[in-house]
Structure 1
């Protein structure tokens, strides 16, 4: 497996790049590999499959070019990418357990995919996450094999005690600790060191054990976002054997000749610019690789006749493979913003309220890549916690003892996440809480057995129509289990416990919202939560060639030849962390698997 973090960062495309803006610009319609989606995983695949120079690779991206878009380059401006032209702007259906609210589900509609619009948090996952992938896929090749390395933070501060350098590796994605210190940083780390226990200080959550409080690592280098596009794709656009076309939607994949031994070989990709525009067909002599994301991949499979038979027949789509798991097992991390009024002159509301301050800080960033703009609009410190032993005795749905149930992120300002708007005055701290081991993917009747992680229900993705330009119907079923809502209530109480320590005296004035009991907390969570935008699982990996799972442990789609899936849709269980780095690792291993099949 390749290692992931370090040295190249480019913001603009070289003049000789082969970036096409229309499928009509393609010189040839025959390739060795066609990668559907130029996002996080697709960019890795484009790089690795074209690097020997012998194989022709086409990447088809529905979205736009990533170059020169300020909101996706400047870390602090990242939230501006949501609900914009670089966002697919997906939305859930009304969530029953959240008082029928619909939840926004941002995804990157741009080269680099969601790595170009996310909050840049870098967690490679605990050892247990990867060992659990190996167990669920019955393939030891998915167990952990050491990854990741940091670049210096923008402010050049001494990082001793904040990271373990020997736990990191080397590769194209730039990662770093915060480059702009906040007044919260020493308070959070000091509290963790003094209180210990569940909140203990963890020097480096990327060293294999996620549990504890630590400094956050981000996919940022030299004060700018490092995405899959800037790290993997842009630097190689000069390769003559690589074509990348944007503004182009794949509408279906299919076999061009009759099935052999009842197994069709998928070798043809149908591409269009618009719902009513002409379709162009491209063929792949070796493989088609679906990297369209957790929503796009499942939708495209069903449009192509691979999915639950009843769903396909309802839409009068000819069934190529009855694959019951397509679109099932969708799961995400619920997120809640907890606000506190604080005694501060440096919290970042002043930037959100005052355009001239923001312009000055942006000028500082442009001049020397320093200041507030070098960090995401999130926190420099975070905690990953196990539930207390008495909350759900003898039940832990996480991947293992090194993975968490709860996350807390400490933000030096008011993060407008959810329905609460930025107040017109006052200084604030936001503590983001998340349930990172949700059971809204599990059959709760299985709790009485010892086999908790093998029986799933989860959210669903279904077709809205047979028009590939229509968004699918997305139902993550948030808070559909008592474990999930009670774990969020516990997270809210954990925040109160943490900030009640003496180090916070004189800083916290009061909570933004007061609660009298757990019932009030649960109601608040249902009314105000969104997600961390970590949806996974709609084409999950399963062992062997059976119907359990959509792909096998080599990520090949079961029931067909020539088609592989490489993106977060294949995760057999949601990682108990931010999954960006997991997607890079997945794509690196997939590249090795593909090359072992086709490269001499």
Structure 2
């Protein structure tokens, strides 16, 4: 490829969002689209295709292998930040959970200042992204969905979803009936009416092949023969190129490395950055867009003064408790212990019929909940006192304006019994978490069968950063999520951890667990808020749901992008990935990123006068003139 070659659109990152946008823009044969992906094509890699092998991809050539800075609130631990460095990005590496955010969370995007970004608009893009599985009527009770008043039959998109694992596994029905008994069963398919309550979750596993369905297999491979779509793998971007005229900047191309050579390619229309929450801010800063003090430190010329780049990093903190299961329950513990006989049998079963323990990762059920103890009169007093003590002061400054805007959203959610502050999940296996080495907590898989119940913090207030620490593009960024540094976050997640025992002790869930409850880790016997906080400091991990580092917000609130996804102060440059999300999804992010990217593709098409189909248009987004 020569430096004189032009494309209409250059997409940096062939991941979850990048391949969605590439597929949609290249639907118009007159538009020439280039995708630059740093990793290789793993389409035929069994570790990508086989659901239960996703763990085998971590810390390999398919993983960026990032780690956070030391986290003082977590006993000084560093946290693994596994992110896909492979065609398909993290959609090729994740645990395949496919769940939506709640309506209230998506509506908060608009309340933060992003006009048109609400559930009413975005819901149709979820439907455009995935296909809802057809379920036999006789299986609905075993799946725990027989009480759904509505089923989302409108979803007809590329990602093929299914209810993972064997239909007959008792955990789904027990989970549904347990939360019904607790008064928290979600009455509708969560993709049609996402709210508070439990539900059987989907996975991005093809219902027929039982293989991973992800952006490469679902969006790219079916259209890879298009002459106007060029996807280049093993191409690591160095920087975005700009032209500065009349005091403004315009993105004109991209410089990248491929096969040991540095190559320049130009764009006639736009550069679209889709490298993820950790890489997109890094590329912006290497290109001269960011905080001038940081750029000057590393000898990078400032193109656009935009200090919010790399700020606002937030992620789902998660922790769990593993309980010993009764002997009759099938679990994945033998695989977790890598027992040769169990692995051999699982391989044979998957090869023969695409069934068995390799066909899923053990996650089948979710619940979005408020803190039940906060709903009592006494709990409301404690909650309001907690919120008042930690309210950001009303002082000048963009960061403070951002923090106050987010605080208002989270406060309203915490005070609303119909909005969740935590997401719970079940796993048919033990969870091996970090443990305090000074305790008798086990450091690896132990004998026995286990069911794990986890809780994640849905709407964290703690905000961290990701920034370059060198002008060398090959150097990893400095990642500091500042987990649970906001006292509200620590208190809320600790309260959710305390609720796990109530779930485990409520029938019929309790009937799947040995009585009295036997915990894999003695330290997970939580008796009060302080013991829960101590457990979190030792054992909390990341759900790898990083977001917000190039956030779509008004500039005066610390935004990097406008509601049209254009970078402030730059023409012809947009960002389309989780870094742009104003607030992280209620739980796992992949479904949200697919929907976000689908809408982004339509916004870009409309701006350039291209045909938009199947979803509502947004007439308030102005059209641009075509560039020659």
TM-score band, normalised by shorter chain: 0.7 to 0.9
- CA offset digits 1:61-88 (Å, max 9, x no partner): 0011021111221112222222222111
Distance in 2 of aligned mates of 1:515 and 1:403: 25
Q: Match of 1:33, SS?
A: strand
Moved more, 555-564 or 393-402: 393-402
Question: How is 1:121-270 mapped onto 2 (pairs within 5 angstroms)?
Answer: 121-145=97-121, 146=123, 147-148=126-127, 149-152=131-134, 157-158=139-140, 161=146, 164-166=150-152, 168-181=154-167, 182-196=169-183, 199-221=184-206, 222=208, 223-255=210-242, 257=243, 259-270=244-255
Q: Any gaps of 5 or more consecutive residues in structure 2?
A: 388-408, 436-441, 611-628
Indicate conservation of the 8 Å contact 1:134/1:143, yes or no. Answer: no
Q: Tell me the residue number matched to 2:579.
A: 569
Partner of 1:558: 568
| Pick aligned residue for 1:541 from 533, 549, 552 | 552
Q: Report the CA distance between 1:261 and its aligned residue.
A: 2.8
Gap change, CA 1:155 and 1:307, over 3 Å in 2: farther
Q: Tell me how far 1:523 sits from its aligned partner.
A: 0.9
User: Cα 1:549–1:281, aligned 2, differ >3 Å: closer, same or farther?
Assistant: same
For 2:147 and 2:154, locate their aligned partners in 1 and report how far apart those are by CA, in whole Å.
13
CA contact (8 A) 1:137 1:552 kept: no
| Structure 2 counterpart of 1:428 | 450
1:349 aligns with one of 333, 352, 356: 333
Alignment check: 8 A CA contact 1:33 1:288 kept: yes
- TM-score normalised by length of structure 1: 0.87
Q: Give deviations 1:217-253, integer Å, cap 9, x for gaps.
A: 1111121111011110111110011111111101001
Matched residues in 2 for 1:194 and 1:64: separation? 48
Mapped contact 2:336–2:445 kept (Cα < 8 A):
no
Q: Is the 8 A contact 1:291 1:565 kept in 2?
A: yes
In the alignment, structure 1 residue 510 sits paired with structure 2 residue 518: yes
Q: Select which of 407, 410, 413 maps to 1:397.
A: 410
Measured after TM superposition, the shift of residue 477 of structure 1 is 0.3
Deviates most, 205-214 or 512-521? 512-521
> Following the alignment from structure 1 to structure 2, what is the Cα–Cα distance between the partners of residues 482 and 157?
44
Alpha-carbon deviations, 1:110-136, whole Å to 9, x = none? 111111111111123122222222222
Partner of 2:487: 482
The corresponding residue for 2:471 is 466
Report the CA distance between 1:307 and its aligned residue: 0.4
Supply the distance in 2 between the matched residues of 1:120 and 1:311 (Cα, whole angstroms).
37
**Change beyond 3 A, Cα 1:343–1:217:** same
The TM-score with structure 2 as length reference comes to 0.83
Whether the 8 Å CA contact 2:321–2:431 is kept in 1: the answer is: no
- The CA distance in 1 between the partners of 2:597 and 2:35, in whole Å, is 14
* 2:198/2:365 contact within 8 Å kept: yes
Q: Distance in 2 between matches of 1:492 and 1:130?
A: 25
Cα contact 2:100–2:585 (8 A) shared by 1: no
- Contact 2:273–2:573 (Cα < 8 Å) also in 1: yes
SS at match of 1:298: helix
| 1:385 match | 369
Q: CA deviation at 1:200?
A: 3.3
Supply the distance in 2 between the matched residues of 1:111 and 1:472 (Cα, whole angstroms). 21
Structure 1's 185 and 546: CA in aligned 2 closer, same or farther, altered over 3 A? Answer: closer
Question: Are the aligned partners of 2:4 and 2:266 in contact in 1 as well (CA < 8 Å)?
Answer: no
- Structure 2: distance between partners of 1:34 and 1:493: 48
Shift of 1:54: 0.7
Do the aligned partners of 2:13 and 2:36 also contact (CA within 8 Å) in 1?
yes
SS of 1:34 mapped into structure 2:
strand
CA distance in 2, matches of 1:156, 1:218: 20
Counterpart for residue 497 of structure 1: 502
- Residue 139 of structure 2: SS of its match in structure 1? coil
- Alpha-carbon distance in 1 for matches of 2:341, 2:549: 44
* Distance in structure 2 (CA, Å) of the matches to 1:558 and 1:547: 13
Name the counterpart of 2:88. 112
SS in 2 for 1:313: helix
Deviates more, 1:344-353 or 1:428-437: 344-353
Cα offset, 1:150, TM superposition: 1.1
State how far apart, in whole Å, the 2-side matches of 1:525 and 1:202 are: 32
Change (3 A) 1:304 1:180: same
Matches within 5 A, 1:287-302: 287-302=270-285
- Seen in structure 2, the aligned counterparts of structure 1 residues 398 and 582 have a Cα distance that, compared at 3 Å, is farther
Of 592, 595, 599, 1:585 maps to: 595
Q: Is the CA contact (8 Å cut-off) linking 1:36 and 1:250 kept in structure 2? A: yes
Q: After superposition, give the CA deviation of every residue in 1:134-159 in whole Å (9 maximum; x if it has no partner).
A: 22233125442333341247999346
> Is the Cα contact below 8 Å between 1:331 and 1:476 reproduced in 2?
yes
Deviation of residue 178 (structure 1)? 2.5
Distance 1:399 1:515, change over 3 A: closer
Inter-partner Cα distance in structure 2 for 1:27 and 1:74: 39
**Among 51, 75, 79, which residue is 1:103 paired with?**
79
Q: Number of matched residues?
A: 551
Question: Residue 254 of structure 1 contacts residue 267 of structure 1 at CA under 8 Å; is this kept in 2?
Answer: yes
Please tell me whether the aligned partners of residues 339 and 511 of structure 1 are also in contact (alpha carbons under 8 angstroms).
yes
Change (3 A) 1:403 1:270: farther
- CA-to-partner distance for each residue in 1:393-420, whole Å, 9 max, x for gaps? 3967178555421111111111234456
Corresponding residue number in structure 1 for 2:323: 340
1:531 maps to 2:542: yes
SS at match of 2:563: coil
How far apart are the structure 2 equivalents of 1:307 and 1:137?
22
